[in-house]
Amino acid sequence: MRAKPINECPVPRGILVIIGGKENKGEDPEKEIQKENSQPLEILNSFVSLISGKKPSIAIITTASGEPAEIFEEYRKAFIELGYDNLEHIHHQSREDALNDDTAERIKAVDAVFLTGGDQLKLTTIYGGTDLLITLKERYINGGIVIGGTSAGAMAMSTPMIYAGNQDVQQITGAIQVTTGLEFLKDVCIDTHFVDRGRFVRMAQVIATNPTCIGIGIEEDTALIVKNGVEAEVAGSGIVIMIEGHEITQSNILNFGKKDAISIRNLKVHLMSKGDEFVIPQSNPPHI
């Protein structure tokens, strides 16, 4: 019987909308392959419905993307269709650009931020420790801002953060590479396109390296809405898979470098779909 930690850290007033990628942006179903139960703009509508204010403003951060202008235009059209046209575009090509740009002031002025897909490692290497990220965290904890992220933008929200290791190598011990994410969720690892790209094994590897962590894999066109830091609800057409490793009794994760196939005993797995609610487990006592 594990002792339950007492949470003495501040409860975030902000809301996270963590999207598994490839959310419906109002595409023509005859041109885009969609899930049978996908609803037009459902996920993005869930995101904007959480934003308060008479004419709320949204900052769309495309830094993770290699095609920032194109991806911003996609989201601009989608948000305008939902009735939101007060949009900011934030993009940085390098850490030097981010350090020399007073973007933190723009973050202070918006009601919501949306992180697009691309490469999650760009987000951590460019924004880690910057005024922009510090301001965004302060507003998440104290100001009630809504932060959405899809694909890479979602994966970067957590710590640890996967940045390398695909289907071809995920079964090999030690083949998954992780780093510190943006830390909106701590001791939680987020993975996206989870069902669609068969990423269960790579998440299991991450959890085996540190069973304190909770793994949350999100299917495409699906989101996890997190309030008060831990209270989660599933939205969208797919499923969310949560992996717990507290009860792992045996694994060969220490055999990294030997190219052994991974072996783990007693993982705990939960499958959840639209409307399901749960509290993200916490077993690591918080501290300053």
Per-residue model confidence (pLDDT) at position 54: 86
Per-residue model confidence (pLDDT) at position 47: 98
Please choose, from the candidates 247, 236, 230, 256, the residue with its C-alpha nearest in 3D space to the C-alpha of residue 195: 236
Tens digit of pLDDT per residue, the chain (288 long)?
Answer: 556 656 578 899 999 999 999 999 987 665 566 677 889 999 999 999 999 988 999 999 999 999 999 999 999 999 999 999 999 999 999 999 999 999 999 999 999 999 999 999 999 999 999 999 999 999 999 999 999 999 999 999 999 999 998 878 888 987 899 999 999 999 999 999 999 999 999 999 999 999 999 999 999 999 999 999 999 999 999 999 999 999 999 999 999 888 889 999 999 999 999 999 999 998 888 776
Instruction: Give the amino acid at 229.
Output: G
CB atoms within 10 A of CB 97: 13
User: In whole angstroms, what is the distance from residue 127 CA to residue 131 CA?
Assistant: 8
DSSP secondary structure string for all residues of 155-204: HTTEESEEEE--TTTTTBTT--EEE----SEESEEEEESTTTTT-HHHHH
Q: CB-side exposure of 167: number of CA atoms within 13 Å?
A: 7
And the tokens for 30?
Answer: 């005859």
User: In whole angstroms, what is the distance from residue 230 CA to residue 235 CA?
Assistant: 16
The CA-CA-CA angle for residues 205, 213, 223, to 5°, reads 90
Per-residue model confidence (pLDDT) at position 218: 98
The CA-CA-CA angle for residues 67, 65, 74, to 5°, reads 60
Domains and CATH numbers, the chain: 15-26+35-276 (3.40.50.880)
And the tokens for 103?
Answer: 């973007």
Please choose, from the candidates 229, 74, 261, the residue with its C-alpha nearest in 3D space to the C-alpha of residue 137: 229
